[in-house]
Chains A and B, each alone.
Chain A
């Protein structure tokens, strides 16, 4: 913007009174002493110039300054408002972007939460099924454990019963063996008695001392056999 502030372009203003003093710097002041007739002769033709020389400058500058100030304030205000508006638009855009991303994230989280809930429900159902199966297995285990304990106890009892049967078989084998020995002794006794009977029928044919010794031997053998038989019977009773 250009302002007509140059002296050559200044429009002449009317002179309002003697209070407006001429500017000595703009126009050369007429000197009374040096004024020539020729100068006076030119005065009527230069009235306009003289009037311009005498115009006051102060009353013409303050509106300009005021105008400039207002213009500057307007420009600055417009700039500030424009900047604020731009900032507002940017901020709104950021907030909208955040809102959009949050919404998207929320939706995603919601979907994920729904899936998690669904999975949790399925897991809970599976867990309930597993727990039922576990309870059933525990029941079976308890039953099996009971059977195992019963079987172990039964094995204990059967092993003991078998051992006792084995003991009895051992005793019977011992008894058979002892009975066999006893039978041999009794057979010897019977044989001795039979022989002794034969000898006694014809006792006169034998030496009396020898016959008496034989009788003693047979009696001893039979007594021994009888004693063994009695002991064996006692042993059998004790078994």
Chain B
């Protein structure tokens, strides 16, 4: 009997398979496994409000630059009257200017960019170039660093000083070349540049694009060009105080 049941059982399985196959679409199948969040069909949700764009702030401050803060106005009172020049701070109590700015002074008066006075302690002048060092009894508001090498022709420079003894002004230009001292006081080559200066600008710093002093303005023709002492000569009198002598008396 067992041998006979096999075909019957096989037929039953086949029939069942056919039945299941016929009902496959009718019968609910197992739900698929979700891999992503279901989409939300939500109504009545407030939309994202637009955010108004603000106007860009265009605020420009016209204060004093670092160059200006380190610049100084020097008044030379001598037997011949009053002369005005420029200078700049290389240390909190040390300023650099031209020798001809302090020559013959019976009194030197120093004023900062914002009009404050500083008392002078001592002053001395170099013999090999138109440079002078003035030491103060009071601290200065800002100082300028010195470059380690002289500027090259074509380098951009900025000059800050008191042209005409008036307001603090800034002019820009570039190094043209090196040439002989226009006043013949030095044998060293001097910087010839086209940054405009006037009387009263003597002693102004020439600042490179990195904010370092590369020269000290001291002379020029009214229409230009203009002369300046290179920074390496300035370093000589700063590094060697023996290079600095007394200021010539008023004659």
Contact = CB atoms under 8 A, between A and B. Distances in A.
Contacts of A88: 27-28
Nearest to A149: B62
A61 B61 CA distance: 118
**Which 4 residue pairs are nearest across A and B when measured between Cβ atoms?**
A76-B12, A159-B115, A80-B16, A170-B82
A121 B49 contact: yes
Given A73-B15, A84-B27, A160-B167, A173 B77 contact: yes
B51 A163 contact: no
Contacts of A177: 79
Given A88-B28, A142-B58, A166-B111, 11 more contacts: A76-B12, A76-B13, A77-B12, A90-B30, A120-B48, A149-B63, A153-B62, A159-B115, A160-B166, A160-B168, A162-B115
Interface string B105-139: 00101011111000000000000000000000000
A206 B225 CA distance: 67
B167 A91 contact: no
Interface stretch (B38-46, B174-182, B188-196, B239-247): B38-46
A166 B75 CA distance: 8
Interface of B: 5, 8-9, 11-13, 15-16, 19-20, 23, 27-31, 37-38, 40, 42, 45-46, 48-49, 51-52, 54-55, 57-64, 73, 75, 77-82, 84, 107, 109, 111-115, 162, 165-168
9 contacts: A73-B11, A76-B9, A80-B16, A113-B42, A148-B63, A156-B168, A159-B167, A163-B73, A235-B81
Contacts of A145: 59-61
Interface string A74-86: 0111011101100
Interface string A101-113: 0100110011001
A120 B49 contact: yes
B8 A72 contact: yes
Contact of B28 (A91, A124, A170): A91
Contact of B27 (A73, A87, A142, A174): A87
Given A124-B51, A145-B59, A113 B40 contact: yes
Nearest to B63: A152
A187 interface: no
B139 to A, nearest CB: 18
Contacts of B167: 156-157, 159-160
Contact of B46 (A75, A121, A134): A121
A94 interface: yes
Contacts of A73: 8, 11-12, 15
B40 A109 contact: yes
Give the secondary structure class of A's interface.
Answer: helix
A163 B111 contact: yes
A237 B141 CA distance: 38
B45 A114 contact: yes
Nearest to B13: A76
Contacts of A223: none
B45 to A, nearest CB: 5
Interface residues of A, number: 62
A182 B166 CA distance: 31
Contacts of A113: 40, 42, 45
B54 A135 contact: yes
Contacts of A153: 62
A145 B51 CA distance: 28
Interface string A144-176: 010011001101111110111011001101100
Nearest to B81: A174
Contact of B111 (A79, A87, A124, A162): A162
A239 B61 CA distance: 37
A164 B165 contact: yes
A233 interface: no
Contacts of A105: 37-38
Contacts of B114: 155, 159
Nearest to A156: B167
Nearest to B7: A69
Nearest to A141: B59
Given A76-B13, A155-B115, A162-B115, A171 B38 contact: no
A92 B28 contact: yes
Contacts of B11: 73
Contacts of B23: 84
B113 A131 contact: no
Nearest to A103: B38
B64 to A, nearest CB: 6
A167 B19 contact: no
